Amino acid sequence: MQRRKPLGGAEFAPETIYLNSASSGLLPARSAAALRAALDESASYGTMGRDYFAPAAASRAAFGRLLDTSPDRVAIGSSVAVQSAFVAATLPAGSEVLVPEGDFSSLVNPLAARPGIKLRSVPLADLAEAVRPGTALVAFSAVQSLDGRIADLEAVRTAARAHGARTYLDITQAAGWLPLRAADFDFVVCGAFKWLLCPRGTTFMAFGGPDREEEAWPAALHAGWVAGEDTGASSYGPVVAPAATARRYDEPHAHYSYVGAEQSLALIEELGVATVHAHNTALADHYRAGLAARGLTPRPAPGSAIVSTPGIADAESRLTEAGVRISVRGGLLRAAFHLYNSTDDVDRLLALLA
């Protein structure tokens, strides 16, 4: 294959061979610098900085551009689990929610914990065919955390619309390297601390589907003062006038997280998701070929930047000692290839496995 150098230039100089983006991404140099400046600023201006809302607004807009949607349709928050609880609260008692077996707990558990919801799990490959009359919501990850399998997004979307079900898509393991459009799904959630390289505590929720009139927005049950149309007039008592946009679902955000996110998302935009996709998947394919040459067979996940392999999980400690950051999930050695990786990283991993 063509030899590939890391993308991002001087933004990354890790002391390790970092193959663990499926757990958390590396912070670009520009993001780290912005965070240091924000910390220094806090010594004189407090932990909300001189402008609490500007980095969050810039991050919201950047995420919208990455998902080909308006920032008016994007809310900001702190975790996927909180957003899942919000989606669960939009469902009436007795609703059937369809999920893939073994999908990530932050997506699934808040739905399962909602009283009155009937949770039904099926294999990922059967998800589209399992949508039926009476299914209220299909909730699933675009890319599975455990083994990198990519869902058939179009098939699930088509099946859900045919049966009048809404869709809730988690793109935490996909955003930043897999091209996506928010408009194709009703709810799209993303924990941005992995492939989008943001600090932990950066989460986005995008609302797809048709434009919403005032009465068509779901109730903003977790909204606080930042969700008011006029935040200055929304600090005490009930929020009388929620924001006219998806900002009505904002949480009071962690300022530092979004200071870093503004810079990280700018880098992803500069490189382009299509470029990152080509880079990541080429490295993953090179790794799969190397595994096959050694008689090892990873879990099938064609086209994915995540490669999970059974039978070699015990290599993790040896790899860690050799300076390779990698993870084990469900007895599988999980390697995740991102823009700061190179062909040399893949070859080093394969040599250590041999």
Name the strands in the sheet holding 203-207, side by side, starting at the edge strand that comes first in the sequence.
74-77, 203-207, 187-191, 166-170, 135-141, 96-100, 118-122
* Cβ burial, residue 27 (10 Å; 0-12/13-18/19+): buried
Closest CA to 169 of 100, 222, 123, 119: 100
Model pLDDT, residue 210: 61
| Residuewise pLDDT in 10s, the chain (354 residues) | 688 999 999 999 999 999 999 999 999 999 999 999 999 999 999 999 999 999 999 999 999 999 999 999 999 999 999 999 999 999 999 999 999 999 999 999 999 999 999 999 999 999 999 999 999 999 999 999 999 999 999 999 999 999 999 999 999 999 999 999 999 999 999 999 999 999 999 999 999 976 555 557 888 888 899 999 999 999 999 998 999 999 999 999 999 999 999 999 999 999 999 999 999 999 999 999 999 999 999 999 999 999 999 999 999 999 999 999 999 999 999 999 999 999 999 999 999 998
Separation CA 187–CA 352 (nearest Å): 42
Model pLDDT, residue 171: 98
Cβ-contact 273, 305 below 8 angstroms = no
Cβ-contact 69, 212 below 8 angstroms = no
Model pLDDT, residue 213: 54
Inter-axis angle of helices 343-353 and 273-293, nearest 10: 20
* Cβ burial, residue 225 (10 Å; 0-12/13-18/19+): middle
Separation CA 197–CA 265 (nearest Å): 8
- Domains of the chain as residue ranges with CATH: 9-28+271-353 (3.90.1150.10), 31-269 (3.40.640.10)
Separation CA 254–CA 53 (nearest Å): 11
Q: Where are the beta strands (DSSP E) in 123-165?
A: 135-141
Q: Are strands 332-336 and 327-329 parallel, antiparallel or unpaired?
A: antiparallel
Closest CA to 114 of 87, 79, 132, 141: 87
Separation CA 218–CA 212 (nearest Å): 10
Model pLDDT, residue 2: 82
Separation CA 193–CA 202 (nearest Å): 7
CA atoms within 13 A on the CB side of 242: 20
Token duo for residue 311: 């039978």
Residue 74 parent element (H or E) = strand 74-77
Model pLDDT, residue 284: 98
Token duo for residue 9: 């230039």
